[in-house]
């Protein structure tokens, strides 16, 4: 079977265009505002609107680097957000495991998991931009 240039062009035009996960530029500030600010506060100060209902006091996220010898612990923050690392403060029904929560919305395919990773990375980078090191 011989495929002509016109046939190939027609076949390509019928293929769904799905963006590659590595080309998506997620806004970490927006993702943080939508998913984290209710507890952690708009600026990461631990003063979100649901804070009075929590059984723990949340740390000020702007001082993660200061509490870590001046180095922002990006990998550790990523592990907390994606659920690989847990904190007692989050408790069994505390902070959502955002890796699982984002996957619920994105799906479990490889491209979907890549988008989940990019969302978490964007939040980690945003939190890094908030750091106050004295």
Structure tokens at 68: 């870590």
Output the pLDDT for position 54: 85
> What pLDDT is recorded for position 99?
81
pLDDT attached to residue 29 = 97
Rounded Cα–Cα distance for residues 83 and 101 (Å): 10
Nearest to 121 by CA among 108, 95, 102: 102
Instruction: Please give the mean pLDDT across all residues of the chain.
Output: 82
CB 58 within 8 A of CB 37: no
Q: What is the pLDDT of residue 56?
A: 83
Task: Delineate the domains of the chain, giving CATH numbers in brackets.
Answer: 19-129 (1.10.760)
Q: What's the whole-model pTM score?
A: 0.76
Segment 31-58 mean pLDDT: 92
What are the CA-CA distances from residue 120 to residues 82, 93, 97, 109, 124 (Å)?
Answer: 7, 20, 11, 17, 6
């Amino acid at each position: 079977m011989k495929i002509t240039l016109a046939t190939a062009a027609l076949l390509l035009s019928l293929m769904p265009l799905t963006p590659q996960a590595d080309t998506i530029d997620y806004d970490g500030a927006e993702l943080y505002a939508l998913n984290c600010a209710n507890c952690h506060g708009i600026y990461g100060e631990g003063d979100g609107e649901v804070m009075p209902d929590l059984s723990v006091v949340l740390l000020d996220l702007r001082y993660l680097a200061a509490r870590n010898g001046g180095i922002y612990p990006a990998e550790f923050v990523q592990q907390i957000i994606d659920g690989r690392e847990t904190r007692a403060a989050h408790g069994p029904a505390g902070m959502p495991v955002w890796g699982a929560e984002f996957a619920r919305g994105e799906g479990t395919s490889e491209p979907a998991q890549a988008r989940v990773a990019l969302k978490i990375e964007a939040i980690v980078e945003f939190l890094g931009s908030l750091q106050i090191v004295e």
